[in-house]
Amino acid sequence: MKTTWLNDYQHQLSEQIVQNRLPHALLITGVNGAGKQVLAEWLIQVLLCQQPQQTDVHNGSYYSLQPCGQCKHCQLLKAGSFPDHQTISSDKATIGVDEVRKSNAFLQKTAQLSGNKTVFIPKAHTMTESAANALLKTLEEPSDRSHIILIANDTARLLPTIVSRCRLISLRVPKHAIEDSRFKHSTEDAYTNLTHIAELSDTETQQTFQHFNTLFSDFLIGDDHQALLTFMLANEDAMRWCEKAFADMLRYSNGWHCALSIPLQQLLSKHVLSPVIIRTCHQIYIDSHKQLMTLAQANKTFVLEAMLIKIKQQLNHIQTTAN
Ligand SMILES: [Zn+2]
């Protein structure tokens, strides 16, 4: 997939670099395939290049900077031996506090080559809470000419204090740019949501997604499934699907066509399940999601169970009112 939609982002960032007002911490978000990595790598190359070139885009109507590819810095970066750049990643599932502390120390030191220093965190959402807290200090007191570039699939998975200290670049892929087979799998859902590319492109994920939807829909109209849903929701994907379910219900209440189960559609059409209740349930979801991000695995089950019970209470309330 060509990432031509990144031109606009590159132009804006280039202007900020030229005018010397690029924020020192940037957080790039967007769905899989949105070009987060491409944009981040481009930005790092431009920031570190000794003579970035101005390239005209759209017949000169605007420009973007491109790394020259020839200078000493470009070559060292290409060879992976540029001394003033660090990528924070981890072999483990999470980025721990030690990795972040190392990069904090790196940023405090003077650059070895005269120029910018960059730190890249490609999976910022995998930072542990203590790692994120260690990073906060650096975000609050930036050293001179240093830039931190973070990528996250979803800002909801980051500490809000991290998000608030970064300039957020939320990549949006124009619909016409998606012309590959990803959307051929799409259901009759008129609202093709680009945040759900994974579910539309990968058969296994799609099946799990549909299974979850059926269970969750049954749960909302009165069936139990609580234990199984708790188990499934321990997966981040299912948490997103849960949020999508609430969003779809709200859309349906507002007259949009959404792929919802018939019994659920009936509850919504009769306004038995009102937008107010859906919003309350959604808020319960949001609060629980925030809690989950700060908890050890052992306590997550408890939060998920409590979330489902609270949602159930809202629904029991409507069922009693309806009778
Ligand atoms: Zn260069």
Strands 117-121 and 53-57: unpaired
Query: In angstroms, what is the span from residue 36 Cα to ligand 1's centroid?
Result: 22
Query: In angstroms, what is the span from residue 235 Cα to ligand 1's centroid?
Result: 42
CA distance 250 to 129: 33
Q: What are 225's two structure tokens?
A: 């499934």
Write the DSSP symbol of residue 44: H
CA 228, 233, 238, 244: dihedral to nearest 10 degrees? Answer: 100
Q: Rounded mean pLDDT of 74-85?
A: 94
Q: How far apart are the first and last CA of the chain?
A: 53
Query: In angstroms, what is the span from residue 38 Cα to ligand 1's centroid?
Result: 17
Q: What is the pLDDT of residue 2?
A: 65
Q: Rounded mean pLDDT of 68-75?
A: 95
Confidence bin at 190 (pLDDT 50/70/90) = very low
Average pLDDT, the chain: 84
Query: In angstroms, what is the span from residue 117 Cα to ligand 1's centroid?
Result: 14
pTM value?
Answer: 0.59
Q: For 279-303, what is each residue's pLDDT tens digit? A: 999 999 999 998 887 776 668 889 9
Question: CA–CA distance from 201 to each of 33, 172, 207 (Å)?
Answer: 11, 18, 11
Confidence bin at 53 (pLDDT 50/70/90) = very high
Please give the distance of CA 263 from its chain centroid, rounded to a whole number.
32
Question: CA–CA distance from 193 to each of 170, 176, 278 (Å)?
Answer: 15, 13, 19
Please give the domain boundaries of the chain with CATH numbers for all domains: 6-177 (3.40.50.300), 183-322 (1.20.272)
Q: What is the pLDDT of residue 257?
A: 74
- Of 68-77, 132-141, 244-253, which has the strongest mean pLDDT? 68-77
Query: In angstroms, what is the span from residue 123 Cα to ligand 1's centroid?
Result: 26
